[in-house]
Amino acid sequence: MQKMAFPGRHALHEPSHSHIPSSYAPLLDPATTSAFEAPDRQCRRRRSSVVALPLMAVLLVVALFSVVALVTNGNKPNPMVSTPPESQQPENMIPSRRGETEGVSLKSFRPLLGAPKYSWTKKLLAWQKTGFHFQPKKNWMNDPNGPVFYKGWYHFFYQYNPYGAVWGNIAWGHAVSRDLIHWRHLPMAMVPDDWYDINGVWTGSATILEDGRLVMLYTGSTNESVQVQNLAYPADPLDPLLVDWVKYPGNPVLVPPPGIGSKDFRDPTTAWLTPQGKWRFIIGSKLNKTGISLVYDTKDFKTYELLNGLLHSVPGTGMWECVDIFPVSKIVENGLDTGENGPGVKHVVKTSLDDDRNDYYALGTYDGETGKWIPDDPINDVGIGLRYDYGIFYASKTFYDQEKKRRVLWGWIKETDSENADIQKGWASVQAIPRTILFDKKTGTNILQWPVEEVERLRMSKKVFDKVEAKPGSIVPLHVGFATSQLDIVAEFEVDKVALESINDTDHTTYSCPTSHGAAQRGALGPFGLLVHTDNHQTEQTPVYFYISKDTEGNFKTFFCADHSRSSEAIDVDKAIYGSTVPVLEGEKLSMRILVDHSIIESFAQGGRTCITSRIYPMRAVYENAGIFLFNNATDATITASLHIWQMSSAYAHS
């Protein structure tokens, strides 16, 4: 690894080009590369990021917990009410606020102070590990980085702590795959061993140049925790596995421009070629409370020009992490390379909001001349409207797969249990199954996300259920005849037409998934759906469901929700209810697809218009005690469901 002499402190505040000598060897010249240090000799410098929190009043916590109430309506049986959890020993927990002092969003889940702590057995923790989602063998992982298809291999890099199951010491893990599902783990690609990334080799993106060479731009957190952008490239571009990486000796190539906070400048996107022959990319930041994305042009990835104005900004949204911009076609069924534009194209802009740790997107028009993007619907602008996923899904990033002509989305599923449990199990976080993204031509207002087709190769035995009827207030066991910890479920639901027509004004203005009482709250036309990872007595259950409301004019609104409030009897885990509305067009049946993989449940409604990722921690509904049920907790409508349920095999990661 080539190293650069430590520059004076002032260098960080000078224009980027002023400290990048022009005499550096040309980019990607093999002569400039050197052997990569073995990973175990790197990352030696570690730091503690532990910041203690002031204690909060235990009483407040107890009060907050008691808010999770089971509500029943009417006289009909409510099958969703279960026995309360076994008593658990209260214990104050003060998890560290990992990430925030370093200038990134909170990286640890924070159970409410005073929440009783559950002691997990090895067997229960082992059950949580997924069978076909991407995970490193051990330790902490967060954002997806630099996904790319190169010389026959899909490459996946990720934020990784080689030393433990908490955020810190961030390096780039690396794995390769032929099909985005079966992964082979490789040595770490980059570690924090230079002054300009000693506090973390943070998130970045890959760009394939016109001649096929690859460059990586990433954020480094410097020795003074200043966020700068750095350049890296493969040591041997002929190596399809891209095992060794070289950091550009002239790093950092970009420092925060005047007016931008030193901890508010991170996560460069993939660059695309402008009609003027320059490479362009964006970086997220904020100005006071306004989330912004800066636009840079470069010809050689060594010197950069900051464009006047911004790609886009939205007041009140705070720091924009992991921004992304990409085209989707209004006409064809395939994905588009990042630089494509024209009359048949819309552009998605996405941000990961530091303030609420959710990924938001909006559709709009990108003007290549001005470098500006205008949303189709300012009411649903980036950060205040649509989300990729209404569950646990953050810091996502897309890439264009030139092999299959598709745009693929990666997203990080964080833990929502206590940090103690993560340390006990020795790993933290999973990546969502990569999703193809298409513009939804039918609605014209959203994208469609769908698990990449390769995941279907893991399907094994199948059980079909045809037109199973569920009366109001009923639960129907679905005996599949195989283990239910790894499933691919495709289900369609028909709602009793008489009920649909006769019911008037039901919860139209008041219902929302997160603020309702989950699957236990009964309405005339919902909830109904599936209970995943549910034991025979439904003590633990994760309902994934639709809920239909109707106004006085006869307009329907359909919600798609996932209720974690009874997913686990453990109390020191997330218990929220997730979801949002889902567009359902005239004549469409309600449909959902659910990928179940141990502690991860990814749910897609109406072909991927609304998605919810669940991270759950059952302690009863595991192994042979977990089953799947159809439920209908509506008070009036009968539901008829048809399902295809496959058992899924594992995608073993090769070492």
Residues lying near ligand DQQ in the complex (CB under 6 A):
104-105, 142-143, 159, 170, 200, 202-203, 219, 266-267, 321-322, 352, 395
Residue 89: how many CB atoms within 10 A of its CB? 8
Nearer to ligand DQQ, 219 or 416 (CB): 219
Q: List for the chain the helix, strand, coil content (%; round to 5).
A: 10, 40, 55
Residue nearest to ligand DQQ (CB): 202
- CB 362 → ligand DQQ: shortest distance, Å? 20
Nearer to ligand DQQ, 282 or 619 (CB): 282
Nearer to ligand DQQ, 198 or 395 (CB): 395
- CB 410 → ligand DQQ: shortest distance, Å? 13
The DSSP bridge pattern shows strands 577-581 and 556-563 to be: antiparallel
- CB 288 → ligand DQQ: shortest distance, Å? 19
- CB 159 → ligand DQQ: shortest distance, Å? 4
Q: How many whole angstroms separate alpha carbon 544 and alpha carbon 532? A: 7
Structure tokens at 587: 């004549």
Q: How many whole angstroms separate alpha carbon 123 and alpha carbon 108? A: 23
8-state DSSP, 303: S
Nearer to ligand DQQ, 264 or 563 (CB): 264
Nearer to ligand DQQ, 32 or 225 (CB): 225
Nearer to ligand DQQ, 104 or 392 (CB): 104
For CA atoms 562, 427, 132, 239, give the dihedral sign.
Answer: positive
The DSSP bridge pattern shows strands 600-605 and 474-477 to be: unpaired
Q: How many whole angstroms separate alpha carbon 94 and alpha carbon 450? A: 38
Nearer to ligand DQQ, 395 or 601 (CB): 395
DSSP secondary structure string, 176-230? EESSSSSEEEEEEEE-S-STTTTT-EEEEEEEE-TTS-EEEEEEEE-TT--EEEE
The DSSP bridge pattern shows strands 556-563 and 542-550 to be: antiparallel
- CB 317 → ligand DQQ: shortest distance, Å? 14
351, HSE (Cβ side, Cα atoms, 13 Å):
30
Q: How many whole angstroms separate alpha carbon 461 and alpha carbon 243? A: 37
* Spatial CA neighbour of 134 closest among 453, 452, 429: 429
- CB 447 → ligand DQQ: shortest distance, Å? 21
Is 267 one of the catalytic residues?
no
Q: Are 546 and 482 in contact (CB under 8 A)?
A: no
Structure tokens at 259: 């007016």
- CB 485 → ligand DQQ: shortest distance, Å? 28
For CA atoms 456, 457, 458, 463, give the dihedral sign.
Answer: positive
Side chain identity, residue 27: L
Tokens 């259920």 correspond to 465
Nearer to ligand DQQ, 117 or 414 (CB): 414
Pick the catalytic residue: 29, 40, 143, 563? 143
Query: How far is CA 53 from each of CA 99, 433, 478, rounded to the nearest angstrom?
Result: 13, 35, 46
Give the three-class secondary structure for 128.
helix
Q: What's the farthest any 2 CA atoms get from each other in the chain?
A: 81
- CB 18 → ligand DQQ: shortest distance, Å? 25
Total residues belonging to the chain: 655
Q: Which residues are catalytic?
A: 143
